[in-house]
Structure 1
Amino acid sequence: NKKGKANFFLLDKLNSDELKAEHHPEGTIRVMDVIEVDDQYQKLAQHLLGNVYIAENEDALANSNGSVILEKNGKYVKGKYSLTGGSVGIFEGKKIGRAKNLAKLREEIAQQDVVVNALKADIQSKHNEVIAFNEQLKENAIRKAQEDISNLTNQVYSLHNKIENIHSQQQTSLQRLEEMQTSLDLTMSSIEGTRNEWMELVTALNGLRDTLRSSEIDYKETEETYNKANAEYNEFNLQVTRQQSRINALVQEEEFKRNQLADLKKQVDTNAVQLNQTIASISESSELLATAEDGLVAMLRNKEEEEKKLNEADQAYYNLRNALAEKESALRHKVKNREQIEHLLGEIKDKLNELKLQLAGMKERLSVEFRINLDDIIDEPRTGDTPVEELQEKTDRMKKRLENLGEVNPTAIEAFTEMKKRYEFILEQKNDLVTAKQSLLQTIEEVEATANKQFLDTFNQVRENFQKVFKALFTEDDTADLVLENPENLADTGIDIVAKPKGKRPSSITQLSGGEKTLTATALLFSIYLIKPAPFCILDEVDAPLDDANVGKFTQMIRKFSEESQFIIVTHNKMTMNAVDVIYGVTMQEPGVSKLVPVDFRSLKVAES
């Protein structure tokens, strides 16, 4: 199997003395004098290439004497103590020196990257310094302005505090004055009320005494009249009764007038007292108002002075802010100029690097292809008279001819053999993939056929159950059905639910009433349930939109299906609760604490039976 090319050196047969003993063939150049090697690889290069020479013609090949001689047309003579084996790879056989050129280019690129990174770091550091300077300048100006503003604000706050203190003292004084006046008024009114009550009591006592005297006189007169008219009592009984009634009415009227007169006197006295108090209060209020007006005028004057100072401070602040804005604008202009200069400097450096790379490439090309050192001939005058344009044109033509001719590839047959093997391998893989694809498509078809068959069987069973359950919940005259929208495509088809209660021909299930919709949905649910009954079934307030008759049908169906499954129903309907075996009620006797109260009807039913 041809896997590549390998060179082996018998190092135990070589030593530094033998290498030094080799002679220098005539007409050759030492390879170590042509190549450039880093110091750390100098010994390895001396070991590998110390006995290698480059010949100008084929005459030097005959006198190699154990040395390795390379002729510039490609011929060479191997040294002793070496062994070569293996095959040439597909991508080998290129020109000598290309790897060296690539290595040198990589080194130059690395060096230029180092320079570019250093420049970038320098630019970034300068940029950071400028940003720090800007931030420091802005922070100092802003800090100074903030300090001025804080001082002015503190002064304003202190003035406001003083004004508020004065206002609070004034309010406190007024409140104390009002409290004292109120206390004085209450005391005076209490004294006056007590005096009025005493006078009223004295007047009432005198009135009662007069009334008592007049009553005694009337009683005596009446007694005398009674003794005189005792014989005539039966005759004038009616007249005496009327007169007595009139007397009582007059006495009551007199008492009412007396009370009304006493009330009017009290009201007059009260009004007089209130008038005096009002006059005194008005005089005191006038004095306080005058004092308050004087204080207010003084405060207004002080406010104008403070506002003037505040306006001056605001003007100074705005002047400082304008100056800061001008400085920031000038700084931004300088930063923009610096960025433009840095951009021009970067372009100049890029152009310089590009020229250096071109010069290095030209120097390397002259050294490798023409064995010419650019530093040696750069100062020499031209020896020919041919124009540079003509030489350049001739050079381009020769390069084009060489490119058209191309290179001879001696390994084309081996490459073809390898590519043919690769093609046959890929073709075999392709055939395997096609076979696998056909197998997968056949499997998919079988799965789809099985799924469609099972779907149709299940659909027909659900359809039959739906019709039966629907008639059980409604009546035998009611009809219902399940219809496939697209029977040709069972994987994507939809299902239409048709429900037609007796006396109705709705075009859509949405035209049914709420109870009819609930019964239809319940019928569909139980038709699916009958395909494969579950051990438990939970229904949440299914009977809420149903009337009593439909609730009875619903509970009968639940009772029938409960022989195979256990139903848990959340309900508020009493008829549903009456049909169940066990009720679990959730109560909250204490706030935040729920309690479960079970009631088992099965024991009661057993006892009744």
Structure 2
Amino acid sequence: RVAAGVRADAETALVALATSLARAVVERDELARSRTGAEAELLEVRARVRAATAELDRLTDEVHRDEVARAEQRYRIEALEGRAAEEYGVDLATLLAEYGPAAAVPPTPQQVVAAETAGDPVPDPVPYDRAVQERRAAKAERDLATLGKVNPLALEEFAALEERHGFLATQLEDLKSTRRDLLTVVREVDERIHAVFAAAFADVQREFEGVFATLFPGGHGRLVLTEPDDLLATGIEVEARPPGKKVKRLSLLSGGERSLTAVALLVAIFRARPSPFYVLDEVEAALDDVNLGRLLTLVEQLRSTSQLIIITHQKRTMEIADALYGVSMRGDGITGVISQRLRELETA
């Protein structure tokens, strides 16, 4: 009986446990469904929050951009007002009233001049056209940039430059006048040089032929201009042909012949343009007796019009002198000068 009672109690407990377990399962399923619904609602709320956050960020960015744009627009308006006041000297109200879109645009000065030139009436003001006026303003700015910045000292600088220009113009005219005078003087000097040189050359050429014939009997010598058409740049060639020779160039003559030719040229110059006195330094050193005698004949001819100082070691030259001056060294090593007048002795 006890066992039966225990068994009955156990069965009752099992039934109650099964009932509790079934009820717990039902409650668990309900709770699971409730959790699933809550999670879905939570996901939906989070999605709406994210969307709202993104919309808030977008609206915040737009507000920030609008504020920046308004600040930039306000700064631009202030800058334009300042530029209008600084460059044009008018305030914003006057600028809008006289030059705003509501005001008619008068004709340009070029249009007025063209109408007056053609004899037509002056064009009437036209309504404001932003594109046209922007092109007109851009052209005016280009023209203004071409003119450059305004120089407040331009008048003073112009006056100074004008004075400087006048001074330089005067100096230039003086220089031109001086240049003309100098060219005239140069031309006159050139003409004088031409005349003097031509006359001197003709005289020397004539005398050279005579002197050469005296020093070289039977020979022929002459002076030739290398450029006869340009006397200022011409050279002079000496043609010498001693008797019995066909050569004319000085380089083909002997030493004595070249010396005599040079003496002939010097004597020709002396006779063409005489001088009060001459100094000859051993001009006959390389001459033989025959040529020396011919040279002394020329010296005798020159002494009739000029005084000659001749340095020589030739006795024949000393014999024709009026006075001799000898330089010798005495026994004590001191140089002494001895003089003697020969013509007075011969006269005595």
Q: 1:433 Cα deviation (Å)?
A: 2.7
Q: 1:467 Cα deviation (Å)?
A: 0.9
Q: Which residue pairs with 1:435 in the alignment? A: 177
Deviation track 1:578-602 (CA, whole Å, cap 9, x = no partner) reads: 2223222223231412223333322
Matches within 5 A, 1:379-394: none
Considering only aligned residues, what root-mean-square deviation do their CA atoms show, in Å?
2.9
Deviation track 1:520-553 (CA, whole Å, cap 9, x = no partner) reads: 1111111111233222222111111111111111
Distance 1:541 1:467 in 2: 23
Q: 1:426 Cα deviation (Å)?
A: 3.3
Matches within 5 A, 1:36-435: 407-413=149-155, 415-435=157-177
Distance 2:264 2:346 in 1: 29
Determine if the alignment matches structure 1 residue 512 to structure 2 residue 256.
no
Q: 1:574 aligns with which of 308, 315, 334?
A: 315
Q: Which residue pairs with 1:29 in the alignment? A: none
Q: Which residue pairs with 1:493 in the alignment? A: 234
Distance 2:346 2:253 in 1: 38
Q: Which residue pairs with 1:468 in the alignment? A: 210
Distance 1:576 1:425 in 2: 71
Distance 2:282 2:169 in 1: 67
Q: 1:443 Cα deviation (Å)?
A: 2.2
Distance 1:587 1:568 in 2: 18
Distance 2:261 2:154 in 1: 81
Determine if the alignment matches structure 1 residue 544 to structure 2 residue 305.
no
Letter in 1 for 2:268: S
Determine if the alignment matches structure 1 residue 455 to structure 2 residue 217.
no
Distance 1:569 1:408 in 2: 87
Letter in 1 for 2:235: G
Determine if the alignment matches structure 1 residue 594 to structure 2 residue 327.
no
In 2 relative to 1, CA 498–416 (structure 1 residues): closer, same or farther, beyond 3 Å? same
Q: 1:428 Cα deviation (Å)?
A: 4.0
Residue 552 of structure 1 aligns to a residue in which SS? helix
Determine if the alignment matches structure 1 residue 445 to structure 2 residue 187.
yes
Q: Is the contact made by 2:240 and 2:248 (CA closer than 8 Å) also made in structure 1?
A: no
Residue 228 of structure 2 aligns to a residue in which SS? coil
Q: 2:224 aligns with which of 474, 483, 498?
A: 483
Q: Which residue pairs with 1:110 in the alignment? A: none
Letter in 2 for 1:605: E
Letter in 2 for 1:467: E
Letter in 1 for 2:244: G
What TM-score, normalized by structure 2, do the two folds share? 0.53
Q: 1:414 Cα deviation (Å)?
A: 5.3
In 2 relative to 1, CA 416–582 (structure 1 residues): closer, same or farther, beyond 3 Å? closer
Q: 1:508 Cα deviation (Å)?
A: 1.2
Q: Which residue pairs with 2:347 in the alignment? A: 606
Q: 1:568 Cα deviation (Å)?
A: 1.8
In 2 relative to 1, CA 527–413 (structure 1 residues): closer, same or farther, beyond 3 Å? same
Distance 1:460 1:421 in 2: 57
Residue 237 of structure 2 aligns to a residue in which SS? strand
In 2 relative to 1, CA 408–576 (structure 1 residues): closer, same or farther, beyond 3 Å? closer
In 2 relative to 1, CA 522–410 (structure 1 residues): closer, same or farther, beyond 3 Å? closer
Residue 319 of structure 2 aligns to a residue in which SS? helix
Q: 1:436 Cα deviation (Å)?
A: 2.8
Distance 1:424 1:595 in 2: 74
In 2 relative to 1, CA 512–421 (structure 1 residues): closer, same or farther, beyond 3 Å? same
In 2 relative to 1, CA 605–438 (structure 1 residues): closer, same or farther, beyond 3 Å? same
Distance 2:309 2:248 in 1: 35
Residue 486 of structure 1 aligns to a residue in which SS? coil
Q: Which residue pairs with 1:530 in the alignment? A: 271
Distance 1:525 1:465 in 2: 10
Question: Mind listing any 5+ residue stretches in structure 2 that lack a counterpart?
Answer: 1-85, 87-141
How many corresponding residue pairs?
A: 208
Q: Which residue pairs with 1:31 in the alignment? A: none
Distance 2:252 2:154 in 1: 83
In 2 relative to 1, CA 419–593 (structure 1 residues): closer, same or farther, beyond 3 Å? closer
Distance 1:413 1:586 in 2: 86
Question: Mind listing any 5+ residue stretches in structure 1 that lack a counterpart?
Answer: 1-72, 74-400
Distance 1:441 1:504 in 2: 49
Q: Is the contact made by 2:212 and 2:264 (CA closer than 8 Å) also made in structure 1?
A: yes
Residue 480 of structure 1 aligns to a residue in which SS? strand
Distance 1:416 1:490 in 2: 53
Letter in 2 for 1:597: I
Q: 1:509 Cα deviation (Å)?
A: 0.6
In 2 relative to 1, CA 464–407 (structure 1 residues): closer, same or farther, beyond 3 Å? closer
Distance 2:328 2:153 in 1: 95
Deviation track 1:332-388 (CA, whole Å, cap 9, x = no partner) reads: xxxxxxxxxxxxxxxxxxxxxxxxxxxxxxxxxxxxxxxxxxxxxxxxxxxxxxxxx
Letter in 1 for 2:241: K
In 2 relative to 1, CA 420–510 (structure 1 residues): closer, same or farther, beyond 3 Å? same
Residue 330 of structure 2 aligns to a residue in which SS? strand
Letter in 1 for 2:323: V
In 2 relative to 1, CA 603–420 (structure 1 residues): closer, same or farther, beyond 3 Å? closer
Deviation track 1:5-42 (CA, whole Å, cap 9, x = no partner) reads: xxxxxxxxxxxxxxxxxxxxxxxxxxxxxxxxxxxxxx
Q: 1:424 Cα deviation (Å)?
A: 4.3
Q: 1:603 Cα deviation (Å)?
A: 3.3
Residue 272 of structure 2 aligns to a residue in which SS? coil
Letter in 1 for 2:263: T
